[in-house]
Amino acid sequence: MSRDIVAVWEVDLSDGVYRIEFEHGTTTGKRVIHINGKEVIRKDWLFKLVGKETFSVGVLETKATINIEAMGGFAYQYSLDISGKNFQTFMDNRSKISKTWTLKLDGIDYRIVLEKDTMDVWCNGQTMETMGEFAEDGTETHFVVATHNCCIKALSSGRRRSGLIHVLLVDGDGVPEFMQ
């Protein structure tokens, strides 16, 4: 089985990182979309070779659209929109409104994400039960991963422009932020 993969994107959402692959048969009009290796859309024969394919990504069913545009001749350009924003703008915005940490506890990999706008905490694709409290130097959001006590501290950076700094502590030890 030949696959005509013409574009691949890695989309970082609260509940995980999703790999979107797009196949486009430029003679048959075939369009196939895979998310993390699972086929979610297949259209085998389309006479119109340009257009859009809209689908959902992740547990929150984030809206995504692949745009197919002719570039002259038999060349095509593919772009991805997530939540109505182009891919790069969406990813730049995600890095401002969320904070991600990856760590290994008891031999298991964990990906913890803080949504700064809602203060929701996600761990390996699940929203966590949290308890927030005010502390002397800011706020603390407490939750448990496996048997480990976790706390995300929101501290003032001391500079008006940079606002708050979010730090993850697991059993009292700091965890470095994950950098894309």
Residue-wise DSSP of 72-112? STT-EEEEEEETTEEHHHHHHHHHHHEEEEEEEETTEEEEE
Q: What is the CATH number assigned to the segment(s) 5-83?
A: 2.40.128.180
Report CA-CA distances (Å) from 108 to 13, 75, 102, 104, 145: 20, 45, 11, 5, 11
Give me the mean pLDDT over the 13-29 stretch. Answer: 91
Q: According to the model, what pLDDT value does residue 178 have?
A: 74
Q: According to the model, what pLDDT value does residue 2 have?
A: 54
Q: According to the model, what pLDDT value does residue 82 have?
A: 97
The average confidence (pLDDT) of the chain is: 91
Q: According to the model, what pLDDT value does residue 74 have?
A: 77
The domains of the chain are located at 5-83, 97-175
Buried b (16+ CB within 10 A) or exposed e, 44-58: eeeeebeeebeeebb
Q: Which residues pair with 100 in a beta bridge?
A: 113
Q: According to the model, what pLDDT value does residue 62 have?
A: 96
Could you confirm whether domain 97-175 is CATH 2.40.128.180? yes
Is 146:155 a contact under the CB 8 Å cutoff?
A: no
**In this structure, are strands 173-175 and 164-170 parallel, antiparallel, or unpaired?**
antiparallel
Domains 5-83 and 97-175 share a fold: yes
Side-chain-side CA neighbours of 117 within 13 Å: the count stands at 7
Read off the pLDDT of residues 35-80 as tens digits, 9 standing for 90 and up: 999 999 999 887 778 899 999 999 999 999 999 999 887 789 999 9
Indicate the pTM of the whole model: 0.84
Q: Is 90 left (phi over 0), alpha (psi -120 to 50) or beta?
A: alpha
Cα–Cα distance, 27 to 45 (Å, whole number)? 9
